[in-house]
Structure formats: structure tokens, C-alpha cells
């Protein structure tokens, strides 16, 4: 045993023996997770620096008096999250660009290493992993996003009228969770279209899903609490929940959505799901799985955060009722947005808070965010009340349905290969081409990006899983005249990779 491995073993054993520590016996975590926490802390505190070589799994098992399976599980998790990298024939090393490095890390100069002095460990996670620029499903065709279906002139007239006639109180903060007529309009819409059981008082108008997620996390969980999150997952949820200091516990998604029976680790405080159109795989959660998820939440006394981000766009079959509509216990927080029907820069969303916690949510909403923009909310309320929202939704459905049909027709040659599966095409503004595990989806995405075609690799959205490959193709804002030629190029590149 070398001196360095002895020091590492002593540190890890000390951390795992601390009763109040995240790796200690009082944490309630299984041994492999406690070892993971201890090694992770060693890297965060600089006891292991970028480029350091770790002892082999066999040596660590002997030094720590643990089974080799326990050690291997911890090392594989650290590798999956980007802390460690394995080099064939050489060993396992701390990643040269350690993503979660904390303030105590010893500086070491390496070519290409990014240093972000002054950031907290949590800050480094937020800026270095799961970046929106790389993961947001944007138009796959070259050129600007197409918002031609939105009635810009009408929207400007409504806004101008409310600004001209704005009363003094409309220019102040709001303590009621948002403009009353807009909250009532949202409640009416959700009752009819999404089968959500709610009163207008439960609706809070937020600046979008990210703020809704953050508010739920701040009010319903403490730092260090466990949250079940889908794997693969929506990057924005990863960001928001990580920023609140929660412990992410990835739960694998199968053909029926997130599977609570496959979850492991400590009982969750929160469960984040996209049941109507899983982001990013696109699978839809059936009734039996939804009931199983609600039952699992009840057993754990957990809150479910239902992100219903694109439920308005259902192209095959009847709309799917919300998970919230099945909730008899009042433990589902329902999150929605106006950005998909109107335009992303609108930055208005809504949160349906649990009935028993409405007052607490309103107070925290006011205390944390000082909400305002009442003239904008008033314009949107009138837009809905006058039927313009329903008309805009009809137009966008028709527009997106036509683009979807174009894309599906152009991708048809891939589906005849027997090696490619299509998921998520029945709803939403993107679909997923599932590829064999032998195909490098990141390489395909990079090749297409070099040609100006923007698709996303499915594997980039995974937290722990290494068994998914695919391409996510967004078509909502794509230029119609470019859909077919760009899709043909995707077909050619994928066919080449399959060969």
C-alpha cells in the first residue's frame, strides 16, 4: 500500500464513520453510495486533484475492508457523473476538467483545463454541466426560429392598451400570486383541457417552469433531500433542483415512462416527472404506471412535480389527462407554460400549488421573487378571454402538424432498416430517433452541426444510464422549406453510421 493510497483510505474511512456526515452511517444510504459521497468529497476538498490516479478497485476494497462490488459501484457512479475517467491499461484518474471541483482544490496547470475562480462547488455544477446551449432542443434546420403563426400585431395592440390604461396598482408588485383574471382563465383552461382539479386561488403566475420548479423545491424540500428525477432528464430540471441543493436520484425511464419500481437509494422528498410526453425520450406514461407513481409518492410522503410542458400539442389520438387529475391526496404540483403556444420570450408560466399550501406558496412567491408585470398579465388574460389563445392554439397545432408530417415522411427510409425506432412523435414539438447502442449519437450530432443541422444526442441527457443512443429532432420552429432537405441529410448520415 503506497503512502497516497493510505492517506486516501484514512480520509474515506473517517468520512464514512462520521455520524452526522453525508457519507456516515446516519445518512441511511447504502454502502456504495456512502463510499461515493466520501470520494466525491475528497475531490471537492482537493484531497484528490485533477489528473490524480486512484488505486485500483481491488486495492481500494482491501484498504477500506469493503466488497469489490461496493467499490466498483461507487467508482462507476463517479465515472458516469464525470468525476473520474478510465484509461485502458493505465487505471482510473480524476478527470482533468473536474466538473464539481470545490474551492479547496489544489491548482494544477493542464492544457485545456477551465478554471472558474470564485464559484462555489454548486456554481461550478451549474455552469459546467448540462448547459442549455448544448441541450435545448432548438430548430433543426438552419436559419432563425419561425414564429410566423403568432399574431404579433394583435398582441402589440393589447399590450399597448393595457399600458395606456394602467392603474397605479398595476405598476406595483403583486401579493396574490398574479393578475386575478389571468389566474381564473388558467384555472378554467386546465379544468377543461387537462382535467386538473383546482380552484383559481391555487394558480400562481410565474416567469416560467424554471421559477415554478425552484419555488416548489424551496418550499417542499431541504438542502440534501433526495429527489427522484427521470433518467434521461430535462436539463432545466437538473439545473433548478441542483441549484436548490437537492440530491438527485436518477430513476430509469422505460417504454412507459419513469419506473418507480426501479428506484433505489433513500426515500424521495420530491419526484420530478414529465408523464404526458417524457422529456427527452417522448414516451407517454399510461394509467397503470401513473397510479403506481402516485402510490409510491404516498408511501414516501413525497411531492410530485408534474411538468406538463407541451401537452397542448397532441397529434395522434385524444389528449392525455394530467397526472394531477388522478391525484386524490393533493400531493401533485402542476407546472405549465405559455411559451409553446405563444413565444418563448414571453416568460410567463403557471404553477398549481397544493390546496393546503396556497398561502405559503403565495407568501414565498412574493418574498423570493417580487412578482410584477401585471400589464403584461392583463394583456394575456384579455387575449385568452377574447378567444385569441384558442385561435392561436388551433393555428399552431395545424402549423406544427404539417411540419411533423413533412419530417416523418422524410425520415421514413430509416424506419425500414429495422435498426431505428421512433418515439415521441404523437405529441409535442420534437421526436426521438432511437439508435442501436453501437452507434455514437454524439458523433452524428457533431457531424450534422458542422453542416448547420441542429439535432441533440439522446445520450447527453442521461445521468447514470449508458444504454441509450438516439437523436432528438425539434421541428416546431423549423423553416418548412428546409425540413425535407435537412431530414434527408440526417437519414444519409445515420444510414452511414448504421453500416
Query: At 276, which CATH number?
Result: 3.40.640.10
- Could you give the CA distance from residue 25 to residue 446 in angstroms, rounded to a whole number? 45
In this structure, the answer to whether residues 143 and 161 fall within a common structural domain is no
Residue from 21, 28, 47 nearest 249 by CA: 28
At 269-290, the pLDDT tens digits run 999 999 999 999 999 999 999 9
Alpha-carbon gap, residue 147 to 338, rounded angstroms: 14
Q: Would you say residue 113 has pLDDT above 60?
A: no
Q: Say yes or no to pLDDT of 360 above 60.
A: yes
End-of-domain residue from the set 127, 160, 180: 127
Residue 1 has pLDDT above 60, yes or no: no
CA distances (Å), origin 430, targets 17, 415, 448: 48, 17, 17
Tell me how many domains the chain contains: 3
Q: What CA–CA distances, in Å, run from 29 to 23, 270, 407?
A: 8, 17, 46
Give the closest residue to 355 by CA, choosing from 323, 333, 336.
Answer: 333
pLDDT at 337: 93
The span from the CA of 404 to the CA of 499, in Å, is 27
pLDDT band at 25 (very low <50, low <70, confident <90, very high): confident
291-340 pLDDT per residue, tens = 999 999 999 999 999 999 888 888 887 677 899 999 999 999 999 999 88
Q: Are residues 364 and 441 in the same domain?
A: no
Task: Kindly state whether residues 181 and 315 are assigned to the same domain.
Answer: yes
* Confidence at 144, pLDDT banded by 50, 70, 90: low
Instruction: Give 462's pLDDT tier (boundaries 50, 70, 90).
Output: very high
Give the Å distances, CA to CA, from 67 to 6, 35, 58, 94.
18, 11, 9, 22
Cα gap 306→44, rounded to integer Å: 33
pLDDT for 172-181, tens place per residue?
Answer: 788 889 999 9
List the grid coordinates of 207: 416567469
Q: Tell me the backbone φ, ψ of residue 190, rounded to 5 degrees.
A: -70, -35
| Predicted local distance difference test score (pLDDT) of residue 2 | 58
For residue 118, is pLDDT > 90?
A: no
Cα separation, 192 vs 102, in Å, equals 49
Clarify whether residues 271 and 377 are in a common domain: yes
Q: Are 160 and 109 found together in one domain?
A: no
Range of the domain at 304: 152-390
* Lateral strand order in the sheet of 430-434: 421-423, 430-434, 470-474, 456-457
344 & 227 share domain = yes
Q: Residue 102 — pLDDT band, cuts 50, 70, 90? A: very low
- Mean pLDDT of the 415-434 span: 91
Quick one: 141 and 110 in the same domain? Answer: no
Please state whether the peptide bond connecting residue 63 to the residue before it is cis, i.e. omega within 30 degrees of 0.
no
**H/E segment holding residue 97:** none
Same domain (yes/no): 261, 295: yes
Q: Is the pLDDT of residue 67 over 60?
A: yes
Measured at the alpha carbon of residue 415, what is the angle toward residues 409 and 419, in degrees to the nearest 5? 160
Q: What is the per-residue DSSP string for 223-272?
A: TT-EEEEEES--HHHHHHHHHTT-EEEEEEEETTEE-GGG--SSPPSEEE
CATH of the domain at 16: 1.10.10.10
Residue carrying the nine cell digits 442549455? 132
Which of 86, 87, 70 has the alpha carbon at shortest distance from 33?
70
- β-strand partners of 204: 351
pLDDT over threshold 70, residue 220: yes
In this structure, the answer to whether residues 156 and 227 fall within a common structural domain is yes
- Residue 431 belongs to domain with CATH number: 3.90.1150.10
Per-residue pLDDT band at 48 (split at 50, 70, 90):
confident
Q: Which of 363, 390, 417 is the last residue of a domain?
A: 390
Domain boundary among 372, 390, 408: 390
Question: d(Cα 276, Cα 285) in Å, to the nearest integer?
Answer: 6
Q: What is the pTM of this model?
A: 0.76
Same domain, 117 and 30: yes
Instruction: Examine the domain organization and report whether 466 and 367 are in the same domain.
Output: no
Residues 281 and 347 placed together within one structural domain of the fold: yes
| Cell digits of residue 498 | 448504421
Q: Given a cut of 50, is residue 107 above it in pLDDT?
A: no
Please list the alpha-helical segments (H only) found in 92-151: 121-128, 132-135
- pLDDT of amino acid 143: 64
Residue 4 binned pLDDT confidence (cut-offs 50, 70, 90): low
Share of the chain above pLDDT 90, in %: 54
* pLDDT (0 to 100) of residue 339: 86
**Residue 432: which of 467, 474, 464 has the closest Cα?**
474
The mean of the pLDDT values for the chain is 87
Pairing of strands 91-94, 203-206: unpaired
The whole-angstrom separation of Cα 74 and Cα 19 is: 20
Long-range contacts of 492-495 (CB under 8 A, 24+ apart): 493/444, 493/447, 493/448, 494/414, 494/420, 494/433, 494/435, 494/439, 494/444, 495/413, 495/414, 495/417
Amino acid at each position: 500500500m503506497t503512502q497516497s493510497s493510505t492517506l486516501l483510505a484514512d480520509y474515506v474511512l473517517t468520512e464514512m464513520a462520521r455520524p452526522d456526515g453525508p457519507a456516515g452511517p446516519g445518512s441511511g444510504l447504502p454502502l456504495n453510495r456512502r463510499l461515493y459521497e466520501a470520494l466525491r468529497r475528497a475531490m471537492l476538498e482537493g484531497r484528490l486533484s485533477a489528473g490524480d490516479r486512484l488505486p485500483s478497485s481491488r486495492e481500494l476494497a482491501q484498504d477500506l475492508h469493503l466488497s469489490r462490488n461496493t467499490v466498483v459501484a461507487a467508482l462507476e457512479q463517479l465515472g458516469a457523473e464525470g468525476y473520474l475517467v478510465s484509461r485502458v491499461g493505465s487505471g482510473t484518474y480524476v478527470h482533468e476538467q473536474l466538473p464539481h471541483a470545490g474551492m479547496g482544490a489544489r491548482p494544477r496547470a493542464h492544457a485545456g483545463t477551465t478554471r472558474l475562480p470564485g464559484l462555489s462547488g454548486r456554481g461550478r455544477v451549474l455552469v459546467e454541466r448540462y448547459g442549455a446551449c448544448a441541450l435545448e432542443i432548438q430548430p433543426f434546420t438552419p436559419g432563425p426560429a419561425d414564429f410566423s403563426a403568432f399574431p404579433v400585431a394583435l398582441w402589440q395592440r393589447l399590450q399597448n392598451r393595457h399600458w395606456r390604461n394602467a392603474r397605479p396598482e398595476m405598476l406595483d408588485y403583486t401579493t396574490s400570486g398574479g393578475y386575478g383574471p389571468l389566474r381564473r382563465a388558467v384555472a378554467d383552461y386546465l379544468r377543461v383541457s387537462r382535467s386538473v382539479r383546482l380552484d383559481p386561488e391555487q394558480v400562481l403566475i410565474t416567469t416560467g417552469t424554471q421559477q415554478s420548479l425552484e419555488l416548489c423545491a424551496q418550499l417542499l424540500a431541504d438542502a440534501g433531500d433526495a429527489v427522484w428525477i427521470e433518467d434521461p432528464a430535462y436539463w432545466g430540471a437538473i439545473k433548478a433542483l441542483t441549484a436548490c441543493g437537492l440530491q438527485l436520484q436518477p430513476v430509469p425511464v422505460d417504454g412507459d415512462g419513469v419506473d418507480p419500481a426501479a428506484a433505489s437509494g433513500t426515500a424521495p422528498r420530491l419526484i420530478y416527472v414529465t408523464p404526458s410526453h417524457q422529456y427527452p425520450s417522448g414516451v407517454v406514461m399510461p394509467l397503470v404506471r401513473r397510479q403506481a407513481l402516485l402510490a409510491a409518492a404516498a408511501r414516501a410522503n413525497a411531492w410530485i412535480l408534474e411538468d406538463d410542458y407541451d401537452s397542448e400539442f397532441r397529434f395522434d389520438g385524444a389528449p392525455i389527462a394530467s397526472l394531477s387529475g388522478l391525484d386524490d391526496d393533493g400531493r401533485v404540483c402542476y407546472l405549465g407554460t405559455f411559451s409553446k403556444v405563444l413565444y418563448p420570450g414571453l416568460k410567463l408560466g403557471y404553477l398549481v400549488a397544493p390546496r393546503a399550501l396556497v398561502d405559503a406558496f403565495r407568501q414565498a412567491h412574493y418574498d423570493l421573487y417580487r412578482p410584477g408585470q401585471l400589464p403584461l398579465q392583463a394583456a394575456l388574460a384579455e387575449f385568452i378571454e377574447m378567444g385569441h389563445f384558442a385561435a392561436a392554439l388551433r393555428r399552431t397545432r395545424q402549423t406544427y402538424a404539417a411540419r411533423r408530417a413533412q419530417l416523418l415522411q422524410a425520415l421514413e427510409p430509416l424506419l425500414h432498416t429495422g435498426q431505428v425506432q421512433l418515439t415521441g412523435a404523437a405529441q409535442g414539438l420534437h421526436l426521438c430517433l432511437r439508435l442501436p447502442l453501437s452507434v455514437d449519437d454524439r458523433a452524428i450530432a457533431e457531424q450534422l452541426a458542422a453542416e448547420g443541422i441542429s439535432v441533440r444526442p439522446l445520450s447527453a441527457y442521461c445521468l447514470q444510464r449508458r444504454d441509450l443512443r438516439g437523436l432528438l429532432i425539434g421541428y416546431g420552429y423549423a423553416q418548412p422549406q428546409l425540413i425535407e432537405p435537412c431530414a434527408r441529410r440526417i437519414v444519409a448520415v445515420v444510414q452511414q453510421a448504421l453500416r
